[in-house]
A and B are shown apart, each in its own frame.
Chain A
Amino acid sequence: MFLINCPYCGERDQQEFKAGGEAHIERPKQPTELSDDEWAEYLFMRKNIKGVQFERWNHAHGCRKWFNMARDTSNDEIKAIYKIGEKPPTQ
């Protein structure tokens, strides 16, 4: 059970949160211009890597805000938490 530091509320138990999958996948601005393959890339393809992964999380039972998390999927270490729109940390 993680202890997640919501950027708006502070440290809360994981059960207040909802995971939202891989982060930094921007919805194409002009979907109609895309080929089937390009659209499928956006729609279906996710990296699911072992190691540091950037993820979306939502404080569903709190402030309801979405934010991003850099999490090491191999040991569940939360490396960083940052707001939507902010760039992922490089380290």
Chain B
Amino acid sequence: MTQNLRVKSSEFIDETNRISFKFDGKTYYGFKGDTLASALIANNVHLVGRSFKYHRPRGIMTSGSEEPNAIVQVNPNSNITEPNARATEIEIYQGLEASSQNCWPSVNFDIGAINNFLAPLFPAGFYYKTFMWPKSFWEKYEFFIRHSAGLGKSPNTRDPDIYDHRNIHCDVLVVGAGISGIIAAKNAAKNNFKTLLLDEKNEIGGSTIFEANEDNKINNNLASEWLKKEINELKNIKNLEIKTRTSVAAYHQYNYLLARENLTDHLEKKDKKNKIRQRLLKIRAKKVILATGALERPLIFNNNDRPGIMLSSAIKKYSNFYGVACGTKNIFFTNNDSAYESALSLHNKGIKVKAIIDIRENSDAKIIKKINDAGIKIYWSHTIVDTKGYKRISSISIMRLSNDGTSVTGSKISISCDCLGIAGGWTPAVHLYTQSGSKLTFDEERKIFIPKADTKEQISVGSCGGDFELDEIIRNLNYKLKNFLNIGKTDFDSIALENDHETSNRNIWLLPSDQSIGKTKPFVDYQNDATAKDIKLALREGFRSIEHVKRYTTTGMGTDQGKLGNMHALGIIADTAGVKMGELGTTTFRPPYTPLTFGTIVGRNVGEFFDTFRRTPMNDWHIKNKAEFENVGQWKRSWYYPKEDETMHQAVQRESKAARQSAGILDASTLGKIDIQGSDSSEFLNRVYTNAWSKLPIGKCRYGLMLNEDGMVYDDGVTTRLGENHYIMTTTTGGAANVLGKLEDYLQTEWPELDVYLTSVTDHFATASLCGPNSKKILNKIIPDLDLSDDNFPHMSFKEVLINKIKCRIMRISFTGELSYEINAPASYGEAIWQKCIEAGKEFDITPYGTETMHLLRAEKGFIIVGQDTDGTMTPIDLQMDWIVSKKKYDFIGKRSLYRSDTMKKNRKQLVGLLTEDPNIVLEEGAQIVSELNQKPVEMLGHVTSSYFSPNLNKSIALAVVKDGKNMKGKKLFIPMKNKNISVTVSKTIFYDEENKRINA
């Protein structure tokens, strides 16, 4: 079967460059310029896959990105194999390997094909109807469905290729480089517009470039010859960039388009190396010209899916462009004149065309005479009622169509063939147009959706705009272009055009057969195996909306988004339901136009570049000292510092003890810091915090709680008054950016009269937090001149000092309940100051501790962590922090909400402490809390928010939010876990040093 079907050398194929490739394990040869599809057809291979549901043999149908059947796995034996590639788009190269999908064990013998004979069991909605009940079985069904469906296999290692993103700005973007796109781009660029012309194919020129119809002439030349000259001239035009192998995937608002530029897929392995494989172009264009062309429609008739049944235009492209005959005994089946052009060009190349079946009664087109002269038999008013041939079409049966087109009459004629070209007319490719948000209108006469209106920023030209005849295309295009770009004369004003015109058409969405529809298989969506009878069934079952029918039957839901059959689905719905197609509307075309690989979407943002990491100035020291890190927002924070083979638990217990018994040190550089200046700074703080700020003396610190306007706790932190009109605010690590944004919002929009300036200085300072009873002694060693007595430097106060001539701010504040100092040094000196603390602390066995120990120590003191003990539903009253809410202040953000009936409700969840009956059991954070064990359904009272084993108390402690928890002190509650119920007692939230003596220890 390695018959060579090359018929004529083609200028687009380099026959001196012979290429070997493998398909399904077998070696074949093609030429440079071939696609996998054209090379396979040249080797007489049509059967390339099995259908999704019935596993019917399927062949190559098209020559472009709309291909529904020839979906292959590239590099099937490699870890980096790629599924769902279209054979019609893959350019062959030396060493290419590809295989069929959807078949097991092989494309020629496929077990799933039994579904074809069980077809009556697989009607529309089969999966919904069968597998959704009983609900609990879904997981089991799903396994089998997924296993047998399998649209290709995923690669199982990291994609080794390089992908890139590039931003492009241009005046005019032209999508599609067929004759319309080329003329548009040439005009735009010549008129000084910076122009970008994109085409998904490797050659520009669209379908005109291989046009051989002698009746279509431009300036007395064959259209293809004329276009070649035009293309040649493009090279000399400034302002024009052309990118081939570039497919526009998405068209968003404001002329923002995403395109995939394919750079190396067509190259041999050795040439691909170290090159960018694909590039995502992010294009912002001032004006967009859509010249995306039209897609040929199939015809929907019984058994219209056999290998060897192809679009008529594809057969023409294979013969004219690739020099390949799709068959040796060809038949065409059509409802318009275009099939005659395909037939004639085969005939002129010496490829046998046996007959043309036309559902119309006649046509006056000039080409008909040529077909008659060629001796090709035309069957007018006939339709195909059936086809034969399992792995390749072998014959068709035709019958005369009734006048109304709903039935067939007379006797059946059978004609043998090995290739059938079907021509159902043309569908403008309006996918990108609709993605841009523009609306379509339905032309009832021609049965096509066309763009409703051009705008100042976007036009559709050529066949995507509904113009199909050469003269119409060029004249309309020229006219539109002049308005759109506001240009005067063009080269195309006085162009001489000659072409044949379509004289009659007849459209029947579903062609009748002599068998009842129940016994036929007229496929509408080849990729998803949806037939016309599935659609009719959906309508019988009451579905009306096109969007519902689509989902129920899965029509148009494949990787090709039903580019071929969507119009037929609509037509069949309209005919069956007795409504006009225009009233039905159409389904939404969603990006991407053709599938994109994930690599292209993420570009360079992979691995460590996926998200930005922020590291503190002391980061190197932490790494050297074997810290484990924790992600907090974008920060990498030291989590704990395990010694030798310590577990996390052991390390945290050791660190926690050391910080209370002698001295600990924490890197607190990540806390958000906002510098606040201006004469209204105090008033501003009064308005954003719940407590009062006007009377805070210079040099003093105060803890503040910030609410949302709904009264819920938003952030907290210590703010220090550095001067009369100067404060430094600290925020939580994760909340820093949001707090700054919120404060700026109020200043700009609600209180523009306030004289306040905010600057984020988080990165400007590094913070070392010294803590523990020996911290004073350590600080004294570092700054002997500073009087550290409680009188001179009391708790909640601030000093500016020089350490080794470095200006540092020291706050005596504490998040652990221990005597504690926070040293803020300019970021670039952070590591030096840290090092100094470590050295000074050596004699006290200073222990570096991470965030986990910090969390444990603060929990012992009952200090909240916003975001852990709160979740956006907790007021300060819920947190039992009434003390921080000023009663005197007239207003602050969130104040009014604290008096809403809902926030004052008695049984809101409130923060409490929990002690386990067995002090060794540590509760799980997030665990639910109940008061009754036998109640059904049991009432969930709340959940555990923080839980630790406290080494300083030698027992387990927890914080939790519990309904009406305020009034439950001493009450016994339960935490039901998988295998046990844990008894707990509600306690105060403070577990350690209730009198706060240690702060001054």
Q: Which residues of A contact B (CB under 8 A)?
A: 1-3, 13, 18, 20, 26-28, 30-32, 34, 36, 39-40, 43, 56, 58, 60, 64-66, 75-76, 84-85
Contacts and interface: CB of A to CB of B under 8 A. Distances in A.
Most buried by B among A32, A43, A65: A43
B744 A64 contact: yes
B756 to A, nearest CB: 14
B744 to A, nearest CB: 6
A64 B895 CA distance: 27
Interface stretch (B251-259, B307-315, B544-552, B555-563): B251-259
A75 B748 CA distance: 29
A8 B254 CA distance: 20
A40 B745 CA distance: 21
A36 B891 contact: no
Given A66-B748, A85-B752, A58 B891 contact: no
Given A13-B284, A27-B750, A66-B749, A40 B895 contact: no
A3 B896 contact: no
B710 A3 contact: no
Contacts of A34: 896
Q: 5 tightest CB-CB pairs across the interface, nearest first?
A: A31-B896, A3-B254, A1-B256, A66-B748, A27-B750
Contacts of B895: 31-32
Contacts of A28: 896
Interface string B881-893: 0000000001100
A40 B254 CA distance: 37
Nearest to B252: A1
Contact of A84 (B284, B741, B749, B900): B749
B891 A32 contact: yes
A36 B284 contact: no
A31 B890 CA distance: 9
Contacts of B157: none
Contacts of B901: 36
Contacts of A66: 744-745, 748-749
Interface residues of B, number: 24
A87 B746 CA distance: 19
Contact of A76 (B253, B709, B897, B900): B253
B171 to A, nearest CB: 14
Contacts of B890: 32
Given A1-B254, A3-B255, A84-B752, 16 more contacts: A1-B253, A1-B256, A2-B253, A3-B254, A13-B256, A27-B750, A32-B890, A36-B901, A39-B896, A39-B900, A40-B900, A65-B748, A66-B744, A66-B749, A76-B437, A85-B752
A56 B741 CA distance: 13
Contact of B254 (A2, A27, A65): A2
Contacts of B253: 1-2, 76
B897 A39 contact: yes
Contacts of A36: 900-901
18 contacts: A1-B256, A2-B254, A3-B255, A3-B284, A13-B284, A27-B709, A31-B891, A31-B895, A32-B891, A34-B896, A36-B900, A39-B900, A43-B897, A66-B744, A66-B745, A66-B748, A84-B748, A84-B752
B741 A58 contact: yes
B256 A43 contact: no
Nearest to B896: A31
Contacts of B891: 30-32
B708 to A, nearest CB: 10
Contacts of A13: 256, 284
Nearest to B710: A43
Contacts of B710: 43
Contacts of B254: 1-3
Contacts of A65: 748
A66 B749 CA distance: 7
A43 B752 CA distance: 20
B44 to A, nearest CB: 48
A14 to B, nearest CB: 8
Interface in B743-792: 744-745, 748-750, 752
A20 B752 contact: no
A76 B744 CA distance: 27
Given A32-B896, A64-B744, A75-B437, A3 B749 contact: no
Interface string B221-254: 0000000000000000000000000000000111
Nearest to A83: B748
A56 B284 contact: no
A75 to B, nearest CB: 6
B980 to A, nearest CB: 43
Contacts of A20: 745
A1 B256 CA distance: 6
Contacts of B255: 3
Contacts of A2: 253-254
